[in-house]
Structure 1
Amino acid sequence: MPKPRPSTAALSTVFEPNAIVVYGASSDPNKIGGRPLRYLKELGFNGRLYAINPARDSVQGVRSFPSATAIDGELDLAVIVVPSESVLGALQDCVRKGVKGAVVLSSGFSEVGSKGAHMQAQITALARASGMRILGPNCLGFVNGVRGISVTFSPSRELRWPQLGSIGFVTQSGAFGSHSAAVCCNRGLGLGMWITTGNEADIDVADCIVFLAGDSHTTVIVGYIEGCRDAPKLAAALDHARLNGKQVILLKAGTSDAGVAAVASHTAMLAGRDELFDAFLRQHGVIRARSVDELLDTAYACAPRIRPASPRTAIISTSGGVGVIMADAAIEGGLRIDPLPAEVQDKIRAMLPYAGTRNPIDTTAQMVNDITLVSKCFEHVIAGSTTDIIVTHLSFIGYDTALMDELSGPLFVLRRKHPEKLFVLSMLCSENIRRRYEAAGFLVFEDPTRAVQAAVKCNTAAAFAREAFSRVDAADTRAMPIMNGKPATEFEAKQVLRAAGIPVPAEAVVDSADAAVSEACSIGFPVVLKVVSRDIPHKTEVGGVILNLSTPEAVVAGFNELHARVHAAAPHANIEGILVGKQIVGGIETIAGILNDPVLGPFVMLGLGGIFAEVFNDVVFRRAPFGIEHASKMIRELRSFSVLDGARGQSRADLAALADVLCRLSRLAAANVGTIQSMDINPLIACPDGVFAVDAMVVLLSDSASEKCA
């Protein structure tokens, strides 16, 4: 897609203010109204700082005023810590003064019911009308460690706060953000920006991603989201981050029914179908984490921005068993553990006669006698193979300071000579040793599996960075046919597909056996007969399909039998005719379709098809519209791709034609986003010389359950 150019100018006044005023400032530095003022002073904010408290002339040594309009000079940011009923008045005071941004820490809005939702809508309207950018309400604010700005009342700010670093953190949940910051502190991870968005009356996660993507201090963007209200905006933000070389890592909540309900009650936000959200994130280059540990491990691994050129990996281990565990995890994660070239193995075996040299390399305990053998293994692997990732397990040797000092010399030289390669160490060691090796450019983990998983994430980030952006012309979408909003039969649905450029077999709808024979002779045998009825969504369930009719006599008999079957199974159904269609012989049955998600918008689905589509459950999704690159990748993501690719000597499906159909279907989905709820093409038969939509069913957004069309 085209490179988005979101503006961050207005956000700079929020996250990088030079003059701040705190509404509801308390003289008690431990109260919610007192902490923001206290933290700003303690962290060393060097701009102008004011308080709004009509009852006092000074609050915590900061001059206090009855309103913002009483303050001389420009104000960049207002921090609102007043009861929910007073928030709108405070924001209106800010507008009169010309304050450029506000952080509303107060709660009691959409998360508590209709009255709160109404007050929040007023905040949104004010932001839109005035141009003032507003973070919150119901948030914990933000911390800009680089600028010494702490706009929060979270107690984690004083109890457990991480060191300054290059991780940009944004979260819809303040409590999750506070917990994660404390974990970062325990892990020794550094944060540059920490932002909580709360109910997102104005500024949302997408805005913050765009801001962090343009922040020179941030190298990786980490976040927690529960849902979104504007999928195109979030997609543009994620693409903007990828174009700026900033890997985005998100933990998305709401994967279960209970989780979805909790999201709705927490921030009054829709979570969206999880499999669609997962596809959406991957499509826009996001690494998805499933736990806090995985989220922060991935952030730590990606922060140095080392992107290996390939997944080719070598594993060096002091333990053969651990090496096997690491190799299993690597292969499961998509890394390649190829055997090392024979000459490399010979060189390693010459140094370590009892070593396993194939890959993983098992150094055995011999390396304790000469720790530099480890670095020599590195040298031989790098010089004699195409390896781009080396993961090494040293067990508890990291506690031996003398050995680690001896090893650091040659290893650090190798690190400097090969900055493009990823080096990951798994070892137990002192804090000092860990920091020394990290400073030299090594990732360090205690657990060997987590070390491998970090390498997997870095490889994923590298693959995302290499992916081309598919661009879809707006004209292509506008050229697509639009459904008229009325329920369509199978024949009518396939006419729409035909107009979109998707191949459909020759077919006609008839009302007599003689007409059926005439059309069959014109189309060419064999043919298929199908009942046409808006009252019958699944024809096979009422015997409404007859295949393999190869003679005129068979067509007459089939026509009569079809009528009898349907009348018996669905006596009240309105039969509008019988469809006579060319039967596609051979090929592989796939299923393709459209799904319009109320949160994320239109998606295209592809899977192994036929009547067993739900049983196999081998499906992939892409948000529409997309180009040929995404379509081709979509096909190869199927677990059953080998079937399409000619497994076991079978004919290979026309993959180029299949990718073209998916692209056209994606444009059709985008053009009909206000019309089509879902569409199934089942089967979509992939032949060696083309792809054909053999059956189609559409559900329109205006349809009731009884108006499904087939």
Structure 2
Amino acid sequence: MADTKEQKEPASLLSLLAPRSVAVLGASDNPIKAGGRPIDYMQRHGYGGRIYPVNPKRAESKRAEIQGLAAYPDLAALPDSPEVVIISVAGTEAEQAIEQCIAVGAKGAVIYSSGFAELGEAGAAQQQRLVARARAGGLRLFGPNTQGVANFATGAVLHFSTMINEEAPQDGPVAIVSQSGAGSSIVYGGLRRKGIGVRYMVATGNEADVTAAETLRAIAEDDAVRVMLLYVESLRDPDVLAQAARIAHARDVPILAVKAGRTRAGQLTASSHTGAMAGEDALADAFLRQHGILRVNDFRELSEFAQIFAGGQRPRGRKVVAISNSGATCVLAADAAESHGLDLCQFDEPGTAALRAVLPGYVSARNPIDMTTALLGQPQIYGQTLDAVAAQRQADLIFVGFPIGGEGYDFDDFSAQTGRFASASGVPVAVSANQEWVAQAFRAQGVPVFDSERSAMQALALLAEYGERREAAQAAPLPAGVPAGVPTHAASAHALDEVRSLAELAAAGLPVVAHRLCHSADDVRRAVAELGAPVVAKGVSPDITHKSEHGLVKLNLSGEAAAVAAFDEIDQILRRMEVRHGGVLLARQQRGAFELAVGAHIDPAYGPVVMVGQGGVLVEALQDVQFLVAPFTASQAREAIGRLRIAPAFAALRGMEAVDLDQLAGMLVRLGDWMVAAGGTVHSVDANPVIVARGAVAPVLVDAVVIRAGETA
């Protein structure tokens, strides 16, 4: 074979997931071993490409075969260049294996080997060498420390999970991308047990080269994929994930994600598991929400909720109709609907009349619809009820609960009617059933089935939420990302004094408090005359951040005399402290109903981030904050404000006007845009408190510190 050491452009990831030829370094005749399983899987599950087992010991034997295929001593001995190479050798041999891959012109490698970044600095250094050499040779890497990748449409199963033996592959509308190999298998098994086919199962492992986000972006281009499931412990390249979400939303393909490391303990575990340092969970949550990615809690929920999206039905809103043969299920369904933010549909007169026309007289035509024993021997009533509900076009979602089924209930007919209804009406249906044979009847018709009323309602709520988030995400700008070459740590940044901080924020279009800088008693008198009383006096120095701790803040100064006295006292304190003396700030004392905290900073993973939350001296203790990754829209800002625990108090209450949330949201948007435009030269902003009044009144920043990167104060 010709030597192909010249540098080449890397192949597309989608083509690497459908290779026409695969070599297995460390191939085994034993289908139980990692080097033997992919060979066995590919031969049994319809792979039509060429498979090249490579094992020098086996190739030198008299019977130079592995699992019935010709074996080779090394990659150079192959009759042609493999597109992808599985590397199933000791970690210490991985660098040599990469050199062989590059030498024969392979386009990608799947590295099963472990012992790299997940073990610490030495392993990380070896991993970096692998990546550097692979990139120079145009070779893309999955892993190391991965269970592999699988394309069940083509039979290219380069994955050594035992779950593939337990649950037979079937091509389908779902793609699984996971940093965890075991996690990919758990989700795959859960889907297959529900009868749902899987097209891709990709475990990215340590992500030395190919990341989960990059894989998701590639798979989003496959027209056969209708749902994508993601498990990550850290978001290494959020910009790419945002691009993947944008492509997916254009095709109406939902992404469900588990982002592990919600707690401090979880974050520490994640860092030792795949060599990934889990980022701040609140930022990950904000990022996923802004880009229309639905966050769920665990592997079970990924496979459980994927089924509600696979059929392609989408709701118009959040109004749900519940139907059951059990009064208890009706009550539980109503409770679950409310707890998950769904509205029980209230039928108008024509709708009620349409239901009465098909229901027996002893069944109430109200929602939830408790059919009691009406379905015994009269299965047609069920379908007629569904049709009557659909004809009124009042229901966005349908829940059906069959807690117990037995003699007299024709579930083959019920399930067939449900499947026809969902296909014809486009209205999403979720069924809850406790008996597996009942669940199987509905699954056979492509109807999603859950094991409780609560799970079914949660699935319907996720479906409604997806529609809302998809629309918002499509209207939102892509993230700005981390400014290139900008330091993101405080050691390289310097605080501006309050006067300069307020000036910069005012220039950015943010509403800052009316204020004057004073250097003498005469300045104070003029300031009081211009601002009016009461006023606040504060010492100004770039060396002091928390002024109140040093007696440098005086409130409720009722007039000129009080203001001059406060000026004299603050002036003396600053001189005694021997700090840089910037004068005394006199500001109008703002009155309002609430104190909020607003801030922004450059995050090393997400770039410019804006925070809003309950402010004052208890901001750290209350932890009632929300984050937004800039840039973002006003509607996304309003949504973040609405998630605050204090948010219900912003509404009109007992004759008091509501807070003008549009003005508050607009302020957050301007702050985010300013951080983006600054290109990383602003390290952070801390504005606390921001005074918020009721009525059509703009919020006011009364205290702020701007920290600029790389600038002396």
Query: Do Structure 1 and Structure 2 share a fold, with TM-score over 0.5?
Result: yes
Among residues 314, 322, 326, which one is paired with 1:319 in the alignment? 326
Query: In the TM superposition, what is the alpha-carbon distance from 1:677 to its structure 2 partner?
Result: 4.7
Question: Where does residue 125 of structure 1 map in the other structure?
Answer: 132
Question: Where does residue 14 of structure 2 map in the other structure?
Answer: 12
Among residues 629, 638, 644, which one is paired with 1:638 in the alignment? 644
**Quick one: distance in 1 between partners of 2:48 and 2:354?**
60
**Quick one: distance in 2 between partners of 1:491 and 1:187?**
63
1:101-124 C-alpha deviation (Å, 9 max, x unpaired): 111111111111222211110111
Question: Where does residue 106 of structure 1 map in the other structure?
Answer: 113
Query: In the TM superposition, what is the alpha-carbon distance from 1:578 to its structure 2 partner?
Result: 1.3
3-state SS of paired residue (1:585) = coil
1:557-610 C-alpha deviation (Å, 9 max, x unpaired): 33245557x579x95766532111123333643221114333333311112333
Among residues 456, 460, 480, which one is paired with 1:455 in the alignment? 460
Aligned residue identity for 1:657: Q
**Quick one: distance in 1 between partners of 2:353 and 2:621?**
50
Question: Where does residue 32 of structure 1 map in the other structure?
Answer: 34
Determine if contact 1:272/1:598 at 8 Å carries over to the other structure.
no
- Calculate percent identity across the aligned residue pairs: 33
**Quick one: distance in 1 between partners of 2:335 and 2:709?**
46
**Quick one: distance in 1 between partners of 2:234 and 2:414?**
48
Are residues 1:511 and 2:519 paired? yes
**Quick one: distance in 2 between partners of 1:302 and 1:683?**
43
Question: Where does residue 390 of structure 2 map in the other structure?
Answer: 382
The structure-2 alpha-carbon separation of the partners of 1:8 and 1:343, relative to structure 1 and needing over 3 Å to count, comes to farther
Query: In the TM superposition, what is the alpha-carbon distance from 1:453 to its structure 2 partner?
Result: 1.3
What aligned pairs does 1:307-346 form with structure 2 within 5 A after superposition?
307-346=314-353
Which 10-residue stretch deviates more, 110-119 or 355-364?
355-364
Determine if contact 1:470/1:629 at 8 Å carries over to the other structure.
no
The structure-2 alpha-carbon separation of the partners of 1:242 and 1:576, relative to structure 1 and needing over 3 Å to count, comes to same
Question: Where does residue 443 of structure 2 map in the other structure?
Answer: 438
Are residues 1:533 and 2:535 paired? no
What aligned pairs does 1:88-107 form with structure 2 within 5 A after superposition?
88-107=95-114
The structure-2 alpha-carbon separation of the partners of 1:354 and 1:249, relative to structure 1 and needing over 3 Å to count, comes to same
**Quick one: distance in 1 between partners of 2:192 and 2:664?**
50
**Quick one: distance in 2 between partners of 1:138 and 1:316?**
48
**Quick one: distance in 1 between partners of 2:158 and 2:417?**
46
Determine if contact 2:494/2:707 at 8 Å carries over to the other structure.
no
3-state SS of paired residue (1:659) = helix
What aligned pairs does 1:338-357 form with structure 2 within 5 A after superposition?
338-346=345-353, 348=355, 351-357=359-365
The structure-2 alpha-carbon separation of the partners of 1:416 and 1:180, relative to structure 1 and needing over 3 Å to count, comes to closer
3-state SS of paired residue (1:547) = strand
Question: Where does residue 586 of structure 2 map in the other structure?
Answer: 580
The structure-2 alpha-carbon separation of the partners of 1:240 and 1:407, relative to structure 1 and needing over 3 Å to count, comes to closer
Among residues 341, 366, 381, which one is paired with 1:373 in the alignment? 381
Question: Where does residue 520 of structure 1 map in the other structure?
Answer: 528
Determine if contact 2:10/2:138 at 8 Å carries over to the other structure.
no
Determine if contact 1:591/1:609 at 8 Å carries over to the other structure.
yes
Which 10-residue stretch deviates more, 271-280 or 545-554?
545-554
**Quick one: distance in 2 between partners of 1:119 and 1:93?**
17
**Quick one: distance in 1 between partners of 2:10 and 2:637?**
32
1:350-392 C-alpha deviation (Å, 9 max, x unpaired): 7344444442222233443533333333233223351110101
Are residues 1:211 and 2:218 paired? yes
Determine if contact 1:485/1:675 at 8 Å carries over to the other structure.
no
Are residues 1:465 and 2:480 paired? no
TM-score by length of 2: 0.89
Determine if contact 2:153/2:170 at 8 Å carries over to the other structure.
no
What aligned pairs does 1:279-318 form with structure 2 within 5 A after superposition?
279-318=286-325
The structure-2 alpha-carbon separation of the partners of 1:473 and 1:412, relative to structure 1 and needing over 3 Å to count, comes to closer
**Quick one: distance in 2 between partners of 1:584 and 1:693?**
9
Query: In the TM superposition, what is the alpha-carbon distance from 1:628 to its structure 2 partner?
Result: 2.8
Which 10-residue stretch deviates more, 547-556 or 240-249?
547-556
Determine if contact 1:162/1:188 at 8 Å carries over to the other structure.
no
The structure-2 alpha-carbon separation of the partners of 1:496 and 1:472, relative to structure 1 and needing over 3 Å to count, comes to farther
Question: Where does residue 25 of structure 2 map in the other structure?
Answer: 23
The structure-2 alpha-carbon separation of the partners of 1:133 and 1:292, relative to structure 1 and needing over 3 Å to count, comes to same
3-state SS of paired residue (1:221) = strand
Among residues 639, 645, 649, which one is paired with 2:655 in the alignment? 649
Query: In the TM superposition, what is the alpha-carbon distance from 1:47 to its structure 2 partner?
Result: 0.9
**Quick one: distance in 2 between partners of 1:437 and 1:530?**
69
Are residues 1:590 and 2:589 paired? no
Aligned residue identity for 2:636: H
Aligned residue identity for 1:32: A
What aligned pairs does 1:399-418 form with structure 2 within 5 A after superposition?
399-400=406-407, 403-407=410-414, 410-418=417-425
Are residues 1:267 and 2:271 paired? no
Determine if contact 1:14/1:77 at 8 Å carries over to the other structure.
yes
Which 10-residue stretch deviates more, 271-280 or 345-354?
345-354
1:332-361 C-alpha deviation (Å, 9 max, x unpaired): 212111422244335545734444444222
TM-score by length of 1: 0.89
Aligned residue identity for 1:285: G
Among residues 159, 177, 188, which one is paired with 2:184 in the alignment? 177
Among residues 156, 167, 178, which one is paired with 2:174 in the alignment? 167
Are residues 1:601 and 2:607 paired? yes
1:500-549 C-alpha deviation (Å, 9 max, x unpaired): 12122232322333322222223344322112234442333444322333
Determine if contact 1:223/1:249 at 8 Å carries over to the other structure.
yes
Determine if contact 2:242/2:478 at 8 Å carries over to the other structure.
no
Question: Where does residue 4 of structure 1 map in the other structure?
Answer: none
The structure-2 alpha-carbon separation of the partners of 1:537 and 1:623, relative to structure 1 and needing over 3 Å to count, comes to same
Are residues 1:486 and 2:494 paired? yes
Are residues 1:52 and 2:51 paired? no
The structure-2 alpha-carbon separation of the partners of 1:8 and 1:460, relative to structure 1 and needing over 3 Å to count, comes to farther
1:138-190 C-alpha deviation (Å, 9 max, x unpaired): 10001111101111222222234454322100110112222333333333332
Unaligned runs of 5+ in 1: 1-6
Which 10-residue stretch deviates more, 582-591 or 199-208?
582-591
Among residues 225, 238, 247, which one is paired with 1:240 in the alignment? 247
Aligned residue identity for 2:522: D
3-state SS of paired residue (1:94) = helix
Determine if contact 1:206/1:238 at 8 Å carries over to the other structure.
no
Are residues 1:78 and 2:90 paired? no
Among residues 610, 629, 644, which one is paired with 1:623 in the alignment? 629
**Quick one: distance in 2 between partners of 1:229 and 1:150?**
26
The structure-2 alpha-carbon separation of the partners of 1:562 and 1:327, relative to structure 1 and needing over 3 Å to count, comes to farther
**Quick one: distance in 2 between partners of 1:411 and 1:185?**
22
Determine if contact 2:477/2:631 at 8 Å carries over to the other structure.
no
3-state SS of paired residue (1:486) = strand
The structure-2 alpha-carbon separation of the partners of 1:246 and 1:400, relative to structure 1 and needing over 3 Å to count, comes to farther
Determine if contact 2:377/2:409 at 8 Å carries over to the other structure.
no
Aligned residue identity for 2:431: L
1:192-213 C-alpha deviation (Å, 9 max, x unpaired): 1101001111111011101221
Query: In the TM superposition, what is the alpha-carbon distance from 1:556 to its structure 2 partner?
Result: 1.6
Question: Where does residue 5 of structure 2 map in the other structure?
Answer: none
Aligned residue identity for 1:392: V
The structure-2 alpha-carbon separation of the partners of 1:534 and 1:492, relative to structure 1 and needing over 3 Å to count, comes to same
1:1-48 C-alpha deviation (Å, 9 max, x unpaired): xxxxxx996113321000111112123333222222222222232111
The structure-2 alpha-carbon separation of the partners of 1:655 and 1:13, relative to structure 1 and needing over 3 Å to count, comes to same
Determine if contact 1:607/1:638 at 8 Å carries over to the other structure.
yes
3-state SS of paired residue (1:649) = coil
Determine if contact 1:13/1:76 at 8 Å carries over to the other structure.
no
1:461-515 C-alpha deviation (Å, 9 max, x unpaired): 22223224223798xx99xxx9994321222221221221212223232233332
**Quick one: distance in 1 between partners of 2:287 and 2:478?**
17
Query: In the TM superposition, what is the alpha-carbon distance from 1:409 to its structure 2 partner?
Result: 6.0
